[in-house]
Each structure stands twice: as C-alpha cells, then as structure tokens.
Amino acid sequence: MRFLGEMLSEAFNQIGSGNAELLATTWRTLELALISTAIALLVGLPLGLLLGERATRWPRRGLVLANAGLGIPPVALGIYVAFLLLPGWPLGGLRWTYTLPALIIAQTLLAFPLVVALTASAVRGLPAGLLDQARAFGASWWHRGVFALREARVGVLTAIIAALGSAVAEVGAVVIVGGNVRGRTNTLASTILLDISASNPAGATADLIVLVALVLVLGGILTFVQQRERGRHRLAVART
C-alpha cells in the first residue's frame, strides 16, 4: 500500500512539474487522434449516408462489411499495414515505416468502420419517409446528405465520440506500425508499455492518468454537445 501511494505521488509530481516528455507525448497522442478521426469522418460520413439512405442490396452488403469491420483486431490490422509499408510492397516507396503518417493510416482504418456503421445506423433511424420527401421535392444528394446529418446529428456525434476514443486509446496497431519509438511514434497508451518495461511504474502511472483525463475531457465535451442537441431535437418535436 505504501508503494502504491509513493508511486501515485511521484506520478502526480511528474504531471504537475510539466514533464517535457509527457507533454510532447500528450500532444502527439492528441494530434494523431484528431487527424485520423478527421480523415475517417471525411471519407466515412458520405459512405455512411449512402448506406443509411438507400435500401438496395449493395448498400445493405456494404453495411454488413462496415459492421464486420468493427470487430477487426487492431493488432491484425497493424500487421497488414506494416506489411504494406515494407520496401517492395504497395506503399513501400513512401518510406513511412515507423513514422507518424504510418500511425495516421492505421488509426484512420480503425476509426473508419466506426464512423460508417454508426452514421448509417443513425440515418436509418430517421423517421420513415423523411428523406423520401426531400428527394420528392428535388433535393440533390448533397442537400439530402446535409439534411440527414443535421437530423441524425445525435447519432453522428456518437460516431465521432467512438472514433476519437478509439484513436486516443489505441495500443496494438500503434506499437506494430510505429515501432513505439520514444519521442517519435509513441503515444500515451503505448508509452505505458515502454515505462513498464523500463521498470518505471510511476512514469507508466503518469501516462495512464493523463490518458484517462484526456479521454474524459474529449468524451465529456462531445457528450455535452450531444446531449444539448438531443434536448433541442426533443424541444423541436414537442413544438410540432
């Protein structure tokens, strides 16, 4: 018990002293999470809208693939991304092995099915005929998509929360693709492994505390926005 108290005390001392390495790792983690989530949203939202709006067999099959993608083990995905980046493989010419762009690719691929599946589910949950009415009034696909995102914004925010949380806390793919190089490709989650292997439990605890705080802050902000939008939606429905 005494050891635990000393470890926690040392961990909070490292956080409070503004440890330069810890700050750099925190920023790297946040940067990677935001960039990969943004890319996943850029590609995944239109695809999620397409799969959610139409009821033909191809969108249904695409939705099955997106849902299946939710179960892909991050370690397995990391291995295949690492293979693609090896010399002589399709992406080998980029020379991104053990670099931040490689981490962005891996984290984007992990966040992508979350965005697609949850967005499609949110759009499919809209009142029956709502998008059909917009189509009947001559709205283009772009305008119907914007309308659908606005109406399904609570579910879309859920997709953003899930994708961002996954990117912040990911370990397996980060270690395999980025090599977990301290000061270059390590994140808060992967640095815990480095500190434990270096017999530095206080450092690992500091990383864990900051990681949990980061997840809580990001999740809390997005959840606040989500709940506010849900309240606005209920108020609008009640007025009608």
pLDDT in tens, 67-112: 888 888 899 999 999 999 998 888 888 899 899 999 999 999 999 9
Nearest CA to 112 out of 166, 157, 178 is that of: 166
pLDDT at 55: 56
Tell me: pLDDT of 54 over 70.
no
Tell me: pLDDT of 163 over 80.
yes
Q: How many domains does the chain have?
A: 1
Q: Which residues contact 95 (CB under 8 A, 6 or more apart)?
A: none
Question: What is the model's pTM?
Answer: 0.87
Higher pLDDT, 147 or 187: 187
Tell me: pLDDT of 35 over 90.
yes
pLDDT at 9: 83
Angle between helices 188-197 and 20-53 in degrees, nearest 10: 140
- Rounded mean pLDDT of 224-239? 70
Range with top average pLDDT, 32-41, 159-168, 217-226: 32-41
Query: What CATH number is given to the structural domain containing 71?
Result: 1.10.3720.10
Mean pLDDT of the chain: 87
Point out the least confidently predicted range of 5-19, 20-34, 38-52: 5-19
Tell me: pLDDT of 40 over 90.
yes
* DSSP for 180-192, written as a single string: T-TTTT--HHHHH
- 237: pLDDT confidence band, cut at 50, 70 and 90? low
Tell me: pLDDT of 233 over 70.
no
Share of the chain above pLDDT 70, in %: 92
- Rounded mean pLDDT of 108-119? 94
Q: Judging by beta carbons within 10 Å of its beta carbon (0-12, 13-18, 19+), is residue 57 exposed, middle or buried? A: exposed
Query: In angstroms, rounded to a whole number, what is the distance separating the alpha carbons of residues 114 and 108?
Result: 10
Look up the domain containing 226 and give its range: 2-239
- 58: pLDDT confidence band, cut at 50, 70 and 90? low
- Rounded mean pLDDT of 201-217? 93
What is the per-residue burial (b if ≥16 Cβ within 10 Å, else e) of 192-222?
bbbbeeeebbbbbbbbbbbbeebbeebbeeb
Whether the Cβ atoms of residue 89 and residue 186 lie closer than 8 Å to each other: no
